[in-house]
Structure 1
Amino acid sequence: MCGLAGFLSAELQGDAVPQVITSMLSLIHHRGPDEAGYYLDDGIAMGAVRLSIIDIAGGSQPMADRTGRYWICFNGELYNHIELRDELRGLGRTFRTHSDTEVVLQAWIQWGPACLTRFNGAFGLAIRDAATGELFLARDRYGKRPLFYADRPDAFLFASEMKAFRAFPGFRFELDPRELASIFAVWTTLPDRTPFRDIRQVPVGGLLTVRGERRTLSTYEQLRVDAPPFTGTEEDAAAFVREELRKSVELRLRSDVEVGVYLSGGLDSSIVTKLATDLSRSQVRTFSVEFEDKTFDESGSQRSVAAHLGTLHSSLAISSADIAENFPAAVYHAEVPAFRTAFVPMYLLSRHVRDSGIKVILSGEGADEAFLGYSLFRETLLRTSWNELSDEEKAAKLGSLYPELGHFGPGHRKHLTGLFSQFSTERLPGLFSHELRYQNGRFAVRLLKDRDEPFGDVLDLVRTTPGYAALSPTQKAQWLEYKTLLAGYLLSTQGERMGLAHSVENRCPFLDPAVVRAAASVNLGYDDGFQEKAILKKAFHGELPQSSLTRPKQPYRAPGAAAFKDRRPDYMELLLSDTELAHLDCVDPVFARKLVNKVMSTPDPEISTKEDQAFVYLLSTAVLNHQYVRNQEDRVSAEPAPRMEIRTAVDHRLSRLSVGGTR
């Protein structure tokens, strides 16, 4: 795991080039505190900060091939590097290190961009072809690692985190009202977007080629949520899924440092923990958060699973004060407005994990998307058939819709009956499954002065995606979850960015391509869609505490607006003052002030979910504006970068013989 940064510029010359690339790397030093290096050539500078996990002694970056033609900066891990190394050796390739980075480089030289489909990993990479002058930027198929770029008249910038751009002379951040409207409406950034004007992401499964003034963006692998149906028995399907998960965890335990597990107490993380304990030679260490507010706490389930599996468990207690105090730092690392505070405890947990001596963590992200674990999927199934059901059937289905809500009663069902009747037909073409969710987004968009059509970009996304229209309603829901909330929030804001804030790498066994394909082949083949993760539960029956298999899914949540009401941190009063709101050009100050006043003066139970989400959006946007837009004149970040020793520096302009100096 690492972070990378660089630029193409004909205007920046002399000593300014190494100074700028060093400053860019310093701003993402938290991603890779173990070593750093850069490579310079005519018109290009690129570098990496490294978190040493595979081949600690030999995997320094940037790395070149023996000829010095190809250079790579690689952020991430290639889990199948051993198998690919053997295949490449059989084709005549030779290796100088045991690192996965060199496997990626040699695979590129052997197969070109076609190698990307062979990779089982999490990555953002930059490869320079010194012979042609081309720069290639690529990102993994599920968006587990970020890669941003800014195309300016004077330079082309790229980095693992946008904050690195502030080190480039003349660069300025500016919030983009159109992108904010889309983020508020859809709950996350779209695959190639950011909240800032003129900054984009390499999309998931994307390859961007830069040569001179030409930019070519392509997709090397399309997301597939459909697959030929599994034809065996239910027992066969369970065994098939279990074996694919076992192999996935085994691959992700490959490391030259100890690997821990995030244990939430739910089914997904319990399965990962179970397989990790089966495959590890030493006692597995597990980590979790517990909440002072018992509404959100799952510590009892966590302790039960840890005791059952014999892990060395460590739990971090989180209070509302902790969330309020650490919110700005977490937003600084997230670099995007957020609709809930659940990423802040993950920021604190990763610090606890790193303080415990762990660099690598396995987690359960991707399971709900792959195995249809969200209530969203059950809602979609029910709404699709709503007009064909009798009143008795509707009531029965509603009764089993939200098993996690113990207080769900007849009054709620009456409300849902009206709501489902209202949304039983599609209003936004292609977005039927998410229209209920997007109602909260519509409310949050009222925070903005210019709203236009906040769903325009996501409508264009599904309209222009080949094969999307032919998917079933549930598959469309699944596709949207993968492309939006999973990549844009769960894997990034709540996952990767919070982990790397404290130099902890997150690995996701449920997002192995083979596991995703297995899930697609068995989904809905053995139940009616209302039996939550029936195949997963059958696959691990008798191996986990019974409570893990029978208790309803409890979504991971954290205190929202209530955390700030209890604490009232000084920064909140400053950022949401009339003076500060006036600096947020995109925000409607009248609506914002009404929202803040209501949230701060109303008892928590009377604050709706949409009001709570809109408040967190407003606060995180104000923090982001303060950190990235208003404070850029003095070039100071929210967390000053530490002094950084550059252990690898190759100036290819000065010595064409220095290509071996990558250590």
Structure 2
Amino acid sequence: MCGIVGIVNVQGDHPITEEMLRQMLALIRHRGPDQFGIYLDDRAGLGNARLSIIDLSGGQQPIASEDEGLWIVFNGEIFNYVELRPDLEARGHRFTTNTDTEVILHLYEEYGPACLSHLNGQFAIAIWDAHEQTLFLARDRVGILPLFYTIVDGTLIFASEIKAIIADPRVQRAIDPVALEQIFTFWGTLSPRTIFRGIVDLPPGHYLIARRGRIDVQPYWRLEFGAPTEARREEEYVEELRDLLIDATTIRLRADVPVGAYLSGGLDSSTVAAIVRQYADNRLDTFSIAFSDPEFDESRFQRQMAQCLGTNHQVAYVTHADIGRVFPEVIWHTETPILRTSPAPLFILSQLVRDHSYRVVLTGEGADEFLAGYDIFKEAKVRRFWARQPSSRLRPLLLRRLYPWIAGFAGKNVAYLAAFFSEGLMDTTAPDYSHRPRWRTTSRTRRFFSDDVRQAADTLAQSTDRAPYYPEAFSSWDPLQQAQYLEITTFLSQYLLSAQGDRMIMAHAVEGRFPFLDHRVIEFASRLPPCLKLRGLTEKYILRRVGRAWLPDAIWQRPKQPYRAPIHRSFFNDARLDYVQHLLSPDQVQANGLFKPTAVAHLKEKAQSGVRLSETEDMALVGILSTQLLVERFIHEFRLPPPISEADSVRVCIRNGITVGGTYGI
């Protein structure tokens, strides 16, 4: 993968300089440190920071069409480019590289925006049509890769990361109170908002066209659920999923560099790693996280799976102090407040991968969302079952089978659990029925907001800012499908694939690949009968059927344990962290004006005392600290690194002239 940037004059005639593009690229050097590329004319400037994965010697960007009318910069991978190229060649397209990037360009020449339906991959694409003065931006179906933009003085500025956009001095750096409210409710913003006012993301499954003073954003793919089109035996579904996963995994081994795999010790990553060992000749190294805190550690399952597969297994051993130490850098890369410390160990893990000279890893993200692996799906099912007989004393007992990974949860008094989960119990037709308890719990963290933030959010928020988008067919879907839709659109793309996915892995120039997010697997899973995903209270039932042929019983039969990391003990331990003391001090909280100094001081005092914090308090602590870090790094003390220089490998294309290592126009 790579990073891309660009500036296009949609209206007006503002100067676009090579120096600004070099500055923007410098801020995302970590995404692609191997090579850099720039295209520049009087209306547009494009830039690329390349992480070389395919066609190492010949794939430097930007790449032009035969007549140099179209120019592309690209972040991502198109896994079916090998199959797409012969047809394009038969149609008369001439190739100068062996890259997937050039395949996209010729597909766009042939089909226009409809080219996106041909792509199997993860991508953020920018194509400039110099003849038509048209910019085309596109993002993959579920938002694996990021793409942001803003419009200032009639100029559209885009980039893979927000820090490159705010390099332009015209872009104001300000926190959006509505976005902050969304994060402290849904764990992430609702697309297209970001935490920075006026900067938005291109939503997953959408493309943008900027032409003749107009900007048009359109969907090209939507997540759809529905009943199967035909009755089939269970075994047929199992065989189809097995075949899809084998192909989705093996085509993701296409690379001119070695490919490793994350191994969490759970069903998803173990299945992916097992497929590689079973169906490919590739050498396989596996990587995992071990925690010093036994409450979060899964290393015994990781060791068992690595031994079963016979992989060369590497472990990042993470302590509480390690999480606190790297947290400021984590927030520099997330570019958003977070309510969990979970990205921090993944940041450490990607460094381990890079230290072992790997640039690509396979991971298991997506299985829990599309095949119903989370406790939130079980919770909704239990609550609906209970709602049929709300006076039952037995049905609430099922609540004890939920969230076994939360210490003490199963031992909670049944009356306490019943009181908590009974709120809104009978409102089973509510579209947010499945997620209402989570969002209600998370929103309690907003009690730490200052009065100014609350008032600003109330003033600026529209009705659509305080609830997810529900498609027209939503009410016709099965309750499990409704819950999955909310989890995928509010959590997967907006938090998991961003803060825990792309940002942490690309922080050290490593590319993640996700077989469960192959769009063929997604579309298959969306048509599955719900009982094949959640059978009773057994999650990912069909994946267990698939995985048991390859995995030890202890792995494929193992209940889901979601990946988590310690929170308050990461910031308050024997290693005193000066930045924590500074950013949570009453003076600094007051100066930033986002939270109540007295309330934050009480929370900090409780965390320092060693008393165990509640889930809500833990979320509030990390949310406040990450927000304070964000304000410090991106608003008060935003510093520009030196621009990409002549010492770097830079391809500069000015109009129709191409030079390497310098700027020479023709």
C-alpha spacing 1:459/1:576, structure 2 compared with 1 (3 Å): closer
Q: 1:583 aligns with which of 568, 591, 610?
A: 591
Indicate conservation of the 8 Å contact 1:2/1:32, yes or no: yes
Q: Look up the match of 1:123.
A: 123
Q: Are residues 404 and 586 of structure 1, via their aligned partners in 2, closer, same or farther at CA, if it must alter by over 3 Å?
A: closer
Q: For residues 449 and 424 of structure 2, what CA distance do their matches in structure 1 show? A: 26
Cα deviation, residue 587, structure 1: 2.4
- Contact 2:129–2:135 (8 Å) recurs in 1: yes
Aligned residue for 1:551? 558
Report Cα offsets for 1:261-313 as digits up to 9, x if no partner. Answer: 00000000000110111233143100001001111111100000000011110
| Counterpart in the other structure of 2:371 | 371
Q: Which of 546, 567, 570 pairs up with 2:578?
A: 570
Is contact 1:230–1:521 with CA below 8 Å preserved after alignment?
A: no
- Which residue in the other structure is 1:595 paired with? 603
Confirm whether residue 213 of structure 1 aligns to residue 216 of structure 2. no
Letter in structure 2 aligned against 1:598: K
8 Å CA contact 1:107–1:115 kept in 2: the answer is yes
AA partner of residue 584 (structure 1): N
Q: Letter of the 1:628 partner, please give it.
A: F
Matched, 1:421 2:428: no
Give the CA deviation at 1:229: 5.7
Question: Mind listing any 5+ residue stretches in structure 1 that lack a counterpart?
Answer: none
Query: Which whole-Å deviations, capped at 9, do the CAs of 1:396-430 have from their partners, x for residues lacking one?
Result: 53344345568554644332222232231349952
* Counterpart position of 1:226: 226
Q: Which amino acid aligns with 1:417?
A: A
Q: One-letter code of the match for 2:285?
A: R
One-letter amino acid of the counterpart of residue 418, structure 1? A
Q: What is the one-letter code of the residue matched to 1:556? A: Y
Aligned to 1:493: 499
Amino acid paired to 1:287: F
RMSD across aligned positions (CA): 2.3
- The structure-2 alpha-carbon separation of the partners of 1:614 and 1:403, relative to structure 1 and needing over 3 Å to count, comes to closer
For 2:593 and 2:643, how far apart are their aligned partners in 1?
29
1:386–1:420 contact (8 Å) kept in structure 2: no
Q: Unpaired runs of 5+ in structure 2?
A: none
Contact 2:136/2:207 (8 A) holds in 1: yes
Q: How many residues align?
A: 651
CA distance in 1, matches of 2:659, 2:112: 21
2:235 aligns with 235
Answer whether contact 1:68 1:659 (CA < 8 A) is retained: no
2:483 pairs, out of 474, 477, 482, with 477
Q: Which amino acid aligns with 1:60?
A: Q
| C-alpha displacement of 1:230 | 6.2
Q: Deviations over 1:149-188 (max 9, x none)?
A: 0111252210000111232133331111111011111111
Distance 1:138 1:376 in 2: 32
SS at structure 2 position matched to 1:391: coil
Matched, 1:192 2:192: yes
Aligned partner of 2:653 in structure 1 is 650
Letter of the aligned partner of 2:386 in structure 1?
Answer: W
CA 1:469–1:280 in 2, change beyond 3 Å: closer, same or farther? Answer: same
Q: Distance in 2 between matches of 1:99 and 1:662?
A: 24
Higher mean alpha-carbon deviation, 297-306 vs 170-179, is at 170-179
Residues in 1 aligned to 2:400 and 2:442: alpha-carbon distance in whole angstroms: 26
User: How far is 1:578 from its partner?
Assistant: 2.0
| 1:467 to 1:428, Cα distance in 2 relative to 1, 3 A | closer
Residue 504 of structure 1 corresponds to: 510
**CA 1:572–1:402: 2 relative to 1, 3 Å:** closer
Shift of 1:359: 0.3
Is the deviation greater in 326-335 or in 561-570?
Answer: 561-570
Give, in whole Å, the separation in 2 of the partners of 1:416 and 1:472.
Answer: 26
What is the identity, as a one-letter code, of the residue corresponding to 1:106?
H
Instruction: Give the distance between the partners of 1:483 and 1:295, measured in 2 at CA.
Output: 29
Q: How does 1:60-209 map to 2 (within 5 A)?
A: 60-153=60-153, 155-209=155-209
SS at match of 1:112: helix
CA drift at 1:642: 7.5
Residue in 1 aligned with 2:34?
34
How much does 1:144 deviate?
0.2
Counterpart position of 1:609: 615
Secondary structure of the corresponding residue to residue 525 of structure 1: helix
CA pair 27-657 structure 1, distance change in 2 beyond 3 A: closer
Q: Does 1:436 align with 2:437?
A: yes
CA contact (8 A) 1:139 1:204 kept: yes
Superimposed CA distance per residue, residues 467-519 of structure 1 (whole angstroms, 9 cap, x where no aligned partner): 22332322121111111111111111111111111000001100111111222
Q: 1:478 to 1:588 in 2, by over 3 A?
A: same
Structure 1 counterpart of 2:521, from 515, 525, 535: 515
Farther off after superposition, 418-427 or 470-479: 418-427
In the alignment, the residues of structure 2 paired with residue 624 and residue 119 of structure 1 have an alpha-carbon distance, to the nearest angstrom, of 35
